[in-house]
Structure 1
Amino acid sequence: MRLLSVLTVCVAMAGPAYGWGPIGHRTTGAIAENHLNEKAQAAIRDLLGPETLAEAATWPDDMRSNPDPFWQKTASSWHYVTVPHGKSYEAVGAPDRGDAITALEQFSRTVTDESAPLADRQLALRFIVHIIGDLHQPLHVGNGTDRGGNDVKLKWFGKDSNLHSVWDSGLIDFEKLSYSELSAWLDSKITPEQVAQWSNTDPDIWMAESAALRDQIYPESGDLSWTYRYENVPHVKTRLSMGGIRIASYLNALFQ
């Protein structure tokens, strides 16, 4: 496909693992679906048919099991960015292999290019939904020292884990909610004032928020359970809610 050849680069090192787990990503997609304008709804329907944004949101992670080199190497760096403590993304920039921001920019051009093959535009749309969700997970704006918390080994309610995994899925899965339950609960509490405040399309803002939160969530102890959950579940819920609103606002702007 033309898009794949444009974006193909070599990945020299492994980055963070999956972003939000399936429930987290589907939650952001489901919230976004409720805040799309009519033009965005029509454009997305033309591209994906009956496929919902909740379904599209997990597709880039689902495809990471594909043994093709495109998924195993090229696309692996599109799920995160690196912003060291005290730095901004603008000051650091993207590595040669690309990152979530360079991919988001390319996919944004492709999804609105009516001359591009349908498969390329579908891939682009699914990645846009996924990447925006990833950028709201604080450890997907990594500090460059520990692979987005993957190297921070710890115990989560007595089981071996790492900080990245706790934030991807541990905190969310512990709630024992389906994505439809979680998205409904969260979306019902988003006020019109919050929608107005959060509806921006600037990834620099999203990354700065995630980096600021990231620097607060490293635990003092390696044995995490109830206290860590109590302190951080509210942050998770806020970032999922904001991610859903930002996906919608970004797509509304793209398809305007």
Structure 2
Amino acid sequence: MKLLRFVAAALPALLIASPAAAYWEFGHETFARIAYANVTPRTRVAIDRLLAQTPMLETPTCPATTIEGASVWADCVKPLKGPDGKSRFGYAYTWHFQDVDVCAPFTLADACKDGNCVSAQITRDVAILKDKRSSAKDRAQALVFLIHFVGDLHQPLHAGEKHDKGGNDVAAAYGTYSPRRFNLHSVWDGTLAERAITSGPSLVRRYPAAQRRRIAAGTVTDWSRESWQVAHDVVYTSALKGDPCAPSPAKVTLDEATIERIVPVARLEVKRGGLRLAKLLDAALG
């Protein structure tokens, strides 16, 4: 029943799915809660103080004063327009993903040209948060972007794709569930993420220090490469029955056996994203 309620609530977002719509609310909120549970007390205080400044962003329909609200703010503000009728945050559209071909050698050179990709923006946001000369408004916005973008990076179809808009062009069935316009991207954003997060013990908890260090090791580029590899090895390989670089059919079907195999991978991606976000927040604010 929980899954059905979740799907029903998220269906409007699904029907307008785009390469920049990573994870439905439940996924992003879980990333943020994991991070909040694993930062230092000093960092938590700094987060709360900055989130209290987010009304400066003048987005009252997209409140970000809580860690959960902050996690979805970057998606919530996409449709907002200014007095001139133009998009207020249209400049950030490409910041949610990076189109790196899973069937070519890994490189961020083209995908991150001029800094317009998710990994470059994560690095930028951390730098703004570290810079005490940055205004309170700039730091508050950098925080809510960072919380969201680290989640985006760990949705594999935001780190690797096959010239198919991150799987949005690939119609998909999730078991027997196959509404109109459901696609591979939607599966990893919503139904699969929901099942992964709710399978087994809660992911939202304080992890042992050694586990936090192991999972959060590396750089943003390392994490980009890893998520890109997951897109190749798991997302497309499972959808295309073993050959990730084969031409995509009109529609793919993830049967129950396939779903059971990939749920642990989706679950690990959420855990990785949460603990890596905690690492970045500690580095920037602790």
TM interval, shorter chain, is 0.7 to 0.9
Partner of 1:135: 153
Contact 2:129/2:143, CA 8 A, preserved across alignment: yes
State how far apart, in whole Å, the 2-side matches of 1:176 and 1:41 are: 23
Are residues 67 and 228 of structure 1, via their aligned partners in 2, closer, same or farther at CA, if it must alter by over 3 Å?
A: farther
Cα distance, 1:16 vs structure 2: 0.7
The RMSD of aligned alpha carbons is 2.7
What is the TM-score with the length of structure 1 in the denominator? 0.82
Q: Which amino acid aligns with 1:155?
A: A
Partner of 2:69: 55
Residue pairs, 1:84-233, within 5 angstroms:
84-85=101-102, 86-92=104-110, 94-96=112-114, 98-143=116-161, 145-156=163-174, 157-160=177-180, 161-174=182-195, 185-188=202-205, 190-200=207-217, 202-215=219-232, 216-218=234-236, 219-220=239-240, 222-233=252-263
Contact 1:27/1:183, CA 8 A, preserved across alignment: no
Residue from 43, 48, 53 that aligns with 1:45? 48
State how far apart, in whole Å, the 1-side matches of 2:45 and 2:201 are: 23
Percent identical = 28
State how far apart, in whole Å, the 2-side matches of 1:93 and 1:140 are: 11
State how many pairs are aligned.
239
Partner of 1:33: 36
Cα deviation per residue 1:28-51 (whole Å; 9 max; x = unaligned)?
100000111133122212211393
State how far apart, in whole Å, the 2-side matches of 1:237 and 1:189 are: 16
Contact 2:29/2:71, CA 8 A, preserved across alignment: yes
SS at match of 1:217: helix
Do structure 1's residue 24 and structure 2's residue 27 form an aligned pair? yes
Cα deviation per residue 1:161-202 (whole Å; 9 max; x = unaligned)?
11001001121335795xxxx897124595544212012361
Residue from 231, 234, 243 that aligns with 2:264? 234
SS at match of 1:223: strand
Contact 2:20/2:94, CA 8 A, preserved across alignment: no
SS at match of 1:155: strand
What is the TM-score with the length of structure 2 in the denominator? 0.74
Moved more, 54-63 or 188-197: 188-197
State how far apart, in whole Å, the 2-side matches of 1:213 and 1:192 are: 25
Partner of 1:7: none
Moved more, 237-246 or 224-233: 224-233
State how far apart, in whole Å, the 2-side matches of 1:174 and 1:224 are: 14
Cα deviation per residue 1:200-220 (whole Å; 9 max; x = unaligned)?
361111111111110131213
Name stretches of at least 5 consecutive residues in structure 1 with no aligned partner.
1-13
Are residues 62 and 142 of structure 1, via their aligned partners in 2, closer, same or farther at CA, if it must alter by over 3 Å?
A: same
Are residues 201 and 62 of structure 1, via their aligned partners in 2, closer, same or farther at CA, if it must alter by over 3 Å?
A: farther
State how far apart, in whole Å, the 2-side matches of 1:71 and 1:252 are: 30
Moved more, 239-248 or 99-108: 99-108
Cα distance, 1:245 vs structure 2: 0.3
State how far apart, in whole Å, the 2-side matches of 1:79 and 1:244 are: 17
